[in-house]
Amino acid sequence: MATRYLVNFALEEVDRIEVGFLVIGSGIAGLYTAHAASAYWEDVLVLTKRGIDDTATEHAQGGIAAAVGPNDSPLYHYEDTLSAGAGLCDPTAVEILVTEGPARVEELMRLGARFDRADGRLDLTREGAHTRRRILHAMGDATGAEIQRVLSEAVRSSPKITVMENHFLVDLLVTSGVCWGVLALDWRELRLKAYLAPVVVLATGGAGQIYKHTTNPEVVTGDGIAAAYRAGAEVMDLEFVQFHPTVLLLEGLPRFLISEAVRGEGGILLNAQGERFMPRYHPMAELAPRDVVVRAILQELERTGSQVVYLSLEHLDPELVHARFPTISQRLKVYGLDLARDRIPVAPAAHYFMGGVKTGFYGETSLRGLYACGEVACPGVHGANRLASNSLLDGLVFGGRIVEYARRGVGEKPARWEARGEGLIPGPPVDYSRLKGELRDLMQTWVGPVRCAEGLSRALRQLARWDTLNRYEATTLEEMEFKDMLEVAYLVTEAAWMRTESRGGHYRADFPQPVPRWQRHLIFRRQV
């Protein structure tokens, strides 16, 4: 599917900037990694696609999970994570996450993160598939914004860290299995630039924008996964896409996430007939794992012939509801809805990629010098279905481990900086904005929460037709984004077609049960 590069270029003809430690992405994973690296490197550079705060982290509502409560322990957190992961979590990766997580959260607080408290203690809440209250939150439902604020301030105030905004990752620069830099587009100046470093960290997030309905911001187009795959890095578990059960669905309005914490505080789901249905599907009812709740919602939609189910908090104290979820309450108020009194129409939407660039326990990839953390990475910690609020913790823990590993001096510098992209031909005028919309529709229809062989085959045939566009040199940011989205869409669809079972976030209507022989990972690598 992939060509090696998106553009024709010669390294000697573009601006070249050398740094000691290079991070791509400015969400929690990227900024924390840069902050941690500044303790050991004098020249840390962060490239980010748009502004420093244009990230999925900024939009995170629910919170960050960590075993810091008096009735909790890393062992309970470990067991809950493995249970949610449907047999595909790497136990060692999960152990690392839950045992190192509390210290990383404490570090955030030392940096100035203001998590909500009650009676002097952290006000912990509970979310789906957690057996304990272990979710730290800030300003009710603005946890991501608070974490983004703290890390952005820490990075901006450091004399050792430089942030370059409006820089789009085009491709990785690799020689003989060693990554030594990236080719980036400064899309404000419309100039290609090469950033060279012995340590390159991908923290570019997932690829939710390949779906029509998603909670992800516009910047999340799978660029890191696609670039890594083109360069020959291994990618893993891309069939496992998590759809969030409760996303506001109002005709003509953008999708808006209704945090899982709303159900954690007592919110219930009702079908079109006003019946509570989750207790019929799982003993944990609304707090079942996300994949279970999504499939239950879809079955109720099919059974009732409706487009939405409803989230209801009518039985709770209105004052407490609005105080606990001020961001959600205010957004719904703009749309003429009262979170505490109205039934909120919701439906599932693409939310998180469990799969990504395959990494080890220190963020190391199959290419030496290249590391990955956060949603772009797949260390096996989330398995087939991520436990709610483990994502922010993941970025902190494995971002810090990258620094721990890289400071041992394992970075390599090639004898010569040399790279060239060639052979791409000028393309005809193409409306890439329209193609993006068509790709999203295709993925939503055939590679969404419920899949089958016929639909997946149909999607693969259409993706293959679009593949002819990869012969053409990309000349605009939108064209580059589309080709990254196309690459990731193809990988997701192919993996979903190959996995003839249902497990976690991957559900095949034609193979509705998990199969023991499929308790394994699908790893793709492009020959370069």
Contact 374, 205 (CB under 8 A): yes
Q: What does the chain come to in residues?
A: 528
Q: What is the 3-state secondary structure (H, E, C) of 237-254?
A: CCCCEEEEEEEECCCCCC
Structure tokens at 501: 């079972």
Please state, in angstroms and rounded to a whole number, the distance separating the CA atoms of residues 354 and 375.
7
DSSP 333-348: HHTT--TTTSPEEEEE
Dist CA 227 CA 209 (whole Å): 16
Tokens representing 312 are: 């209801």
Active-site amino acid positions: 290
Give the pair of three-digit tokens for residue 69: 């409560």
CB neighbour burial string for 98-137, b if at least 16 within 10 angstroms, e if fewer: bbbbbebbeebeeeebebbeeeeebbbbbbbbbebbbbbb
Instruction: Give the type of residue at 70.
Output: P
**Alpha-carbon 227 to chain mean position:** 16
> Measuring CA to CA, which residue among 170, 249, 261 is closest to residue 212?
249
Separation of alpha carbons 344 and 313, rounded Å: 9
How far apart (Å, rounded) are the C-alpha atoms in residues 3 and 134? Answer: 45
8 Å CB contact between 5 and 181: no
Contact partners, residue 48, CB within 8 Å, separation at least 6: 24, 25, 26, 30, 54, 55, 163, 164, 165, 166, 167
What's the CA gap between 257 and 244, in Å, rounded?
Answer: 8
d(CA 486, CA 1): 9
Residues 6+ apart with CB under 8 A from 262: 246, 311, 313, 325, 328, 339
Sheet holding 241-248, edge to edge: 256-257, 241-248, 344-353, 309-312, 268-270
**CB count in 10 Å sphere of residue 173:** 24
Helices 390-406, 91-111: crossing angle, 10 deg rounding: 90
Query: By the 8 A CB rule, do 486 and 463 touch?
Result: yes
